Amino acid sequence: MIKVGIIGGSGYTGGELIRILLNHPKAEINFVYSTTRAGKAISSAHPDVLGSTTLAFTGEVNPKVDVVFLCLGHGNSTTFLNEHTFSPATKIIDLSNDFRLEQDAIFNENEYVYGLPETNKESIKNSNFIANPGCFATAIQLALLPLAKAGELQNQVHINAVTGSTGAGIKPSATTHFSWRNNNASWYKPFTHQHLGEISESLDSYGETTGQLFFLPNRGNFARGILATAYTEYNGTLEEAKAIFKTFYADALFTHISEEPIHLKQVVNTNQCHIHLHKHHGILLITSAIDNLLKGASGQAVQNMNLMFGFDESDGLKLKAGAF
């Protein structure tokens, strides 16, 4: 059993990591660090784990754990790592955006590998430092990467994606509290969302010219999940497009192509990404769906951990969706 540390365990991503790791066959939680809840039971922040663990949050860090997950706000991972030193053998998986871009990948002489298993599996296996992808970035990249590799993404791409309120983090804000979000919908950060940088770098890594991306993020009146739609000009047939996607994801454990239109309930509470293709008058529509807290954050982080330690990729991630 490997020993795991979690930094920032009282938020949504930290809570999901705790739930997964409590049932992981080859990992055990050594400590959950929190500056705001040190000494309090983990169940005080995550009541659903009452009876599953007697662990308490701590203000102390064990620098000799086998792996540590950083579940801190964007920009805070660099500060934390400058103030805390871990053993040279400790692997680090960061869930913020601090190390995702190529210009930020090297920090304190350590190189962070971009942790999208569908494209970087071998690099992840051989790395001790992982930058976990963003939630929107995961859903959109998985929808577009097969076309980029095939050289079929040279025209403009229009993307519309809606996310649940948990995507904004646990601290309430004017656009996340229930009375505003309920029975409501709105867009935000039109064409300027921070995940566009990592999406573009991944698409461009195949060496083909990628058309301009126009991304419009939306707030949904539900708690979790991302449904993304992207469309672009495409000269091939629908069957040819399906063949491109099925070949690209032939060895992907958690990403699947659906013959039927997809919806969020298929993937919420799982580490799955489901993709559907539709063609209309020379336009290819790609729809992808993920759980923003699992495949878009903590589930993918554990998937990366499994790869780094040579475990079965699905360990701890055999999760069940709710159909009804």
Residues annotated catalytic, as ranges: 135
What sections of 36-188 are H helices per DSSP?
76-83, 117-125, 135-149, 178-181
Cβ neighbors of 247 (< 8 A, separation 6 or more) are 146
* Nearest C-alpha neighbor of 2 from the set 306, 220, 242, 258: 306
Dihedral sign computed on CA atoms, order 47, 52, 55, 61: negative
Strands 2-7 and 213-219 turn out to be unpaired
Distance CA 94, CA 96 (A): 6
* Nearest C-alpha neighbor of 255 from the set 117, 152, 120: 117
8 A C-beta contact, residue 271 and residue 295: yes
* Nearest C-alpha neighbor of 218 from the set 176, 191, 187, 196: 187
Phi, psi of 98 (to 5 degrees): -65, -30
* Nearest C-alpha neighbor of 299 from the set 321, 318, 317: 317
